[in-house]
Amino acid sequence: MTILNTVKGFLDNSEAKKLAELINLTANLGPGLEIGSYCGKSALIFGEACKQNNSFFFTVDHHTGSEEHQVGEEYHDPDLYDSKLGKFNTLPELLKNINQSPMQNNIIPVVGDSASIAKRWKTPLGLLFIDGGHSMEAALNDYHGWNEFIIPGGLLAIHDVFPDPKDGGRPPYEIYCLAKKSGNYEEIEMVKSLAILRKIIR
Ligand code: SAH
Ligand code: MG
């Protein structure tokens, strides 16, 4: 997985390995989709697995960054600031990384706000990976807007789930709890901060 060393992003090796496995578990059900492309680290991991079984992966992002990526914030990367646009912009880096890879035909970037796209989305999904904004509003929009598209038997994966508030922010953990409480999901596994649930078949 050279992607892990060459592409900017926020994934640990064990989480990345697990993400690739999720494609193999769900490709027969339907395509996968993630919220939060950033520079394509997770999308390329998913895409590499998709290439092996001729499946597709959608990656959604407005590309202007989450709160923590903005100028002056903890995770701001000045290389990703577009001075012509006067804003943070990860789209050129994403397109460069996809186009330089052998997975360019397996990854489909969808550019825009997650909630706006969800309202117009129709395609059922085998896998949904939520790794978008970390505000409560963003996390709730991602969960409520997208989880209905997961096919029964398909997987919901959520990144940055920290059961102990000392380890990090709460919204991803809150939607993970909502999914469990809904009665529609069974918990499968937790790898570092990556939570994996399966939609129950009724
Ligand atoms: N999955 C990536 C990391 C994603 S970081 C990796 O593996 O490296 C979170 C991303 O979510 C940011 O790029 C940010 O622009 C995006 N994001 C935040 N809120 C969003 C929203 N409402 N709609 C679309 N994308 C959003
Ligand atoms: Mg994350």
Query: What band does 7 get if pLDDT is binned at 50, 70 and 90?
Result: very high
The pLDDT of residue 1? 63
pLDDT digits (tens, 9 = 90+) for 124-135: 999 999 999 999
CA of 202 to the centre of ligand 1 (A): 32
Q: Nearest ligand, CA of residue 45?
A: 1
pLDDT digits (tens, 9 = 90+) for 106-123: 999 999 999 999 999 999
Grouping H, G, I as helix, E, B as strand and the rest as coil, residue 176 is helix
Residue 3 has pLDDT above 90, yes or no: no
Could you tell me whether strands 81-82 and 87-88 are parallel, antiparallel, or unpaired per DSSP bridges? antiparallel
* Greatest alpha-carbon span in the chain: 52
Q: For residue 1, how far is the Cα from the chain centroid?
A: 18
Neighbours of 192 (CB within 10 A): 15
pLDDT digits (tens, 9 = 90+) for 62-90: 999 999 999 999 999 999 999 999 999 99
To the query of whether residue 134 is one of the catalytic residues in this protein, the response is yes
Residue pair 22/196 in contact by the 8 Å Cβ criterion: yes
Please pick, among 62, 63, 69, 134, the residue that the annotation labels catalytic: 134
Q: Nearest ligand, CA of residue 80?
A: 1
Mean pLDDT, residues 30-52 taken together: 98
Mean pLDDT, residues 152-158 taken together: 98
Residue 111: name the closest of 45, 64, 159, 57 by CA.
64
Q: Phi-psi category of 171—alpha, beta or left, where left has phi over 0 and alpha has psi -120 to 50?
A: alpha
Q: How far is CA 54 from CA 125, 133, 174, in A?
A: 15, 30, 34
CA of 55 to the centre of ligand 1 (A): 22
